[in-house]
Amino acid sequence: MPKSTATISLSFIAKVAILCNAFYLFSLLVMTVHWFKIPDVIANFCAVLGLEMAPGVNIAFILAWIWVKFTKRENYVENWKTILIFLMFSIQLGSIFI
């Protein structure tokens, strides 16, 4: 059975979300550990990918994942990616209130 466009898009969004979540963790490291010095250009790039894009991409993945589940299509995203994205989104929601 060929993969549909929705599941290919979901797989791509999952990969982008994992990349942005890695930059989110790196941005938190740069903000909290003061002895960790990197050039401003790299810090700004990581901050944009991590702090600004990660929550939006996580929300897009979660909404697309829910849509794929409700339409009962095949899900080509591994379970560990889905769990990691949901976990990172909950961490991001928790860090808003801290």
Give me the residue spans of the domains in the chain.
Answer: 5-96
Residue recorded with tokens 């990197």: 38
The predicted pLDDT at position 87 comes to 95
Q: What is the pLDDT of residues 53-71, one digit of tens each?
A: 999 999 999 999 998 889 8
pTM listed for this prediction: 0.84
Residue 92: closest CA among 48, 60, 54: 54
In the predicted model, what is the mean pLDDT of the chain?
A: 86
CA distance 78 to 15: 11
Would you put residue 48 in left (φ > 0), alpha (ψ -120 to 50) or beta?
Answer: alpha
pLDDT at 11 over 60: yes
Q: What is the pLDDT of residues 66-94, one digit of tens each?
A: 988 898 887 778 899 999 999 999 999 98
